[in-house]
Structure 1
Amino acid sequence: MKTYRHLFFDLDHTLWDFETNSEEVLRFQYDDHRLARYGFTVEQFMAYYSEVNHALWRMYQGNKITQQQLRTTRFARTLTKLGVPEAEVPADISDQYTSLLPHKTAVFPYTFEVLNYLQAKGYTLHLLTNGFREIQYVKLNAAHLTDYFREIVTSECSGCLKPDGRMYQHALDRAGTTAADSLMIGDNLECDVLGAANAGLDQVYFNPAKRRHFAQTTYEIACLSELKEIL
């Protein structure tokens, strides 16, 4: 089996359990803003938000909208689709979400066990994320993840987004390593798997939902504990 020295992890949906943490915040906001009075359930609110947010993130990753446009648009679009008059969309709901979310601490099963194992095995761990810099650092600190990673590379510090090969090269340069010595671990086929492959890195596709796909991946796992079988 190939030997690696540097491991690059994605954060959201890979280590930090975005869905669990986001659901907790959205449930709070549904009650806090009394959204039930508009006739939709909290489950509908979360489902619509997820759909809108995912679509806008794809636009952001394709450089079609800015970070600020993403932040200011997602709740307004969600709520108006659910029938809330535009004039009644809470002005602070987007900032509230952005403020509350990174303080949530749910991570995927075996996160700490696996990170401790990899450190003990002598791997150098790094983080490579498209998330907003100030939010990602709050997440890492709140979830007690920061100290595991030597380099924390965000899209803002690299000037581009995964799957852009320039972001991978920036991360390799920051880490002082090469693609041949490195492995990317993430949940997104386009950004983490194909992006890494195009940059010359082997990849681990983290696929806990066991979604069917036709991508060529170096490795695929459904649970983080399976990394012990690879590394």
Structure 2
Amino acid sequence: MSQLNPKFIYFDLDDTLLDHKKAEQAGLRDVHQHFDMFNGISEDNLLETYHHINKGLWEEYGRGEIDRHELHRRRFSETFQELGLDENMHEEAGKVYMNYYRNHWEWIAGAREAYVAVAEKYEVGIITNGFAETQRLKIDQFNLKETARQIVISEDVGVMKPDPRIFDHSTKLAGVNREDILYVGDSFTSDVVGGSKANWKVAWYTQTPIEQGYKLADLIFDDFDELLNKLGI
């Protein structure tokens, strides 16, 4: 008998199954090498500036204050402005970045083996924030359609995690009671808070848990073997 005993398991995609942060950093370092305009500006300065600006823009996007096109434009135009560069290069830089970013997609350590093992025993699905075309490319590249019975992308639904509506939608797709769904994700706000408010079970994948997480998550793990053990696999 499983110690969590779910009937359906949803996985987050970025930084739970796939290493988005690593790919993003590698893509930005490639951008730094690609353009001569970064002479005199370190890779770390570019990464730090971009991450700070991009994080704020995604928060605005999540609140519905800007659309995807403004996010795409501003994340590089404001980064370049902050670094004293030509912000009119934002469009070209955005295209170059996306091409490099895709070259660096890979599984989180241990995630592929764990996901395959879970999918052999349970019905599984994917819930991911992000732009639909990019997330679909990841889903196709890693053959997740072969195992995921439901794939939910925030842009398709019209709201982002932790909005309750994306969890309500995903509950209906799973076709089981809320308390019979387990959600595996890395983000405290999007996954742990969102999943627990939806009355789902939550397994929080994190290296740096916080006290509130112990109150909300049913499992906190930093190695996928721990998840398999709790699922009786």
**Shared fold per TM-score greater than 0.5:** yes
Counterpart residue number, 1:69: 70
Residues 25-77 of structure 1: CA deviation (Å, up to 9, x unaligned): 1111111112332x211121112111111111112112222122111110111
Counterpart secondary structure, 1:126? strand
Say whether 1:57 aligns with 2:55: no
Q: Distance in 1 between matches of 2:194 and 2:177?
A: 15
**C-alpha displacement at 1:105, in angstroms?**
2.5
Q: Distance in 1 between matches of 2:36 and 2:145?
A: 36
Identity within the alignment, %: 26
In 2 relative to 1, CA 205–2 (structure 1 residues): closer, same or farther, beyond 3 Å?
closer
How far is the alpha carbon of 1:176 from its aligned partner? 1.8
> How many angstroms apart in 2 are the aligned matches of 1:225 and 1:118?
11
The residue identity in structure 1 corresponding to 2:170 is A
SS at match of 1:13: coil
2 CA distance for matches of 1:10 and 1:116? 14
Secondary structure of 1:9's counterpart equals strand
> What are the superposed Cα offsets for residues 125-153 of structure 1, whole Å, 9 maximum, x if unpaired?
10001111110011122234342311110
Secondary structure in 1 matching 2:212: coil
Q: Which amino acid aligns with 1:182?
A: I
Distance in 2 (alpha carbons) for counterparts of 1:6 and 1:46: 38
| Structure 1 portions without partners, runs of 5+ | none
Contact 2:73 2:91 in 1 (8 A): no
- Normalised by the length of structure 1, the TM-score is 0.91
Paired residues, number? 227
* 1:145-224 matches, cutoff 5 A: 145-208=144-207, 210-215=208-213, 216=215, 217-224=217-224
- State the alpha-carbon separation in 2 of the partners of residues 193 and 118 from structure 1: 20
| 1:32 matched residue in structure 2 | 34
Residue 126 to residue 44, structure 1, CA distance change in 2 (3 Å):
same
Asked if the contact 2:80–2:90 (Cα under 8 Å) also holds between the matched residues in 1, the reply is: no
Q: Quick one: structure 1 residues 103 and 145, their matched pair in 2 at CA, closer, same or farther if it must change by over 3 Å?
A: farther
State TM-score, norm by structure 2: 0.90
- Indicate the residue corresponding to 1:11 in structure 2: 13
Say yes or no: does 1:20 pair with 2:22.
Answer: yes
CA shift in 2, pair 1:10/1:117, >3 Å? same
Q: Is contact 1:115–1:148 with CA below 8 Å preserved after alignment?
A: no
